[in-house]
Structure 1
Amino acid sequence: MDIRFEGLDAGGEATLAWVVALLILLGVGLALLCQRAIRHRRARSAGQAAAAREQMEHALAERLRNERSRLLSAVAHDLRQPLYAMSLTTQSLEQQRAVRSPAVLLSQMRHALASADALLDTLDTVARLETGALRPRLAVFSMQAMLERIDRQYGPQAQARGLHWTVTPSLECVHTDALLLERMLDSLVANAVHCTERGGVLVSCRRRGQQLLLQVWDTGPGLDPVGLATAGGPHYRDDGGVAADGGVGFGLAVVKHAARLLGIRLSVRSRVGHGTCFSLLLPLYPVASRRRVARLGTRQPQFSA
């Protein structure tokens, strides 16, 4: 390369050429150093990301193990209660063989068996929801029939506990899975009735724009921030009362998973010492088509597993 500079003699030109060459070499060296530093930084970042990912996976696996252990412990504890009750009833029957009418003891055994069966059924529903084995079957139906069944089932229980019981009627039609929705409402109402010692339980249903707001209010012990954060976990227990599924809290887990599956917005508000309100926002069926399905309001939905 022939480089010449005006106003410089041969020696000056040579010196300046060497300076330029050194600057070029220095630039190339700096570029190589920067490239090497970038590669080193990328490798270190990749290593840090891999370590963080491994640490996160380890923490998740540990959390799942802990969750599984608590879940199995809770299930074993709550299954032991009805089985122990049946054991006591059996002993009473053996000691009272001369009794001609053991109706009371047999009724206790049936109740214990029903409790165990309900717990296993709820556990099965949670497992199917978590694994995606339970697929929604959308249909149009009136809310009134469901509300009437809830009223017949839990009204006497609430009144027997001395609670004020109210269910507001609704002629609205919704488009969702009838089985899952009734299971969700059943779980919320059951927990509200069983966890409320004084005051009352309200099941309300009203329009909110193009949606139907279904709420379950109670004046129970309420939930603190920790309780609100953990409510709906499969091992959740409300220390303020006994959950309807035996205390494990599977009912709230069913509500949480089913709401996610159906695209229903679930929210909860609670104040310790005042009570709790669970809210579900349901998609309304178009007004023009409600008359065609109005007859469904007095018909029991046909469910299949």
Structure 2
Amino acid sequence: MTQLIQSLSDISDRYDALFVDLWGCVHDGVQAIPSAVAALQAYRAKGGAVVLVTNSPQPRGNVEKQLQKFGVAEDAWDTIATSGDAARAAMFTGAVGQKVWFIGQPHDQGFFEPLKVVKDPLEIEQVPLDEADGIVCCGPEDPHADPSVLRTQFLLAKQRGLKLLCANPDIVVDRGDVREWCAGALARLYTEMGGTSLYFGKPHPPIYDLARRRLTAMGRDVGGEGILAIGDGIHTDVAGAMGEDIDSLFITGGLAAEETRTTDQPDPAALDAYLAREGRDPSFTIGFLR
């Protein structure tokens, strides 16, 4: 059964590194969450390493710029692992072919920027669906439209046997007070229709492999028992941590705020009911990262 804690400092001395989700934990899609930033700064001041592990489809350089815009202090983290970078590596090594049908918004074009770590990368060409070898999905063109608007195109893609590379497994995010659909919702629909979707972000192994490589590049050799995963996604952050056999801290004040009746802290009865229903067992739980 999960242990309800009051602050990160209650347990942080047990861990050498944190794998920290961004959206819903460190920022709300509009601005930084001050208590979360302060908690991470305090942790790093004691020698801990913070890897921001995000299902953003963006390259990590773009995520850094976004953090600056939101007011997340640079001394609150050490390095970043993005779903986008893990998925880009797969794309440039031919996971869905050379000619791809792209689903996303104009600001997602950074996904196609060259990736230096891939030797002899495939030259990717964006083409219409009827010319494509595969699909690259960074998210819906309209994040407020129901994913089913793509059902007709997905039927054609499935019939042609195209694989869909999902750059962000999240189903939804909350931008401030507004809920938006993510690439994971489109990939889920495609899979439900009989298509094949490939995932590289949480809760799937590639992004954790990338996060560990980023730790190693910092000169940190940390085993699984020394890592704590933090996030508000029960099906991404918590499920991923359980799959990697690392401890997790579930933030209930994000995506699950309503279900767990979180104000400052979750309602214990509502929390227990929610975890039982979802079949997940985070090591620790708190209302907000602080």
Q: Return the TM-score normalized by structure 1.
A: 0.22
Report the structure, 1 or 2, having the larger helix content: 1
Q: Return the TM-score normalized by structure 2.
A: 0.23
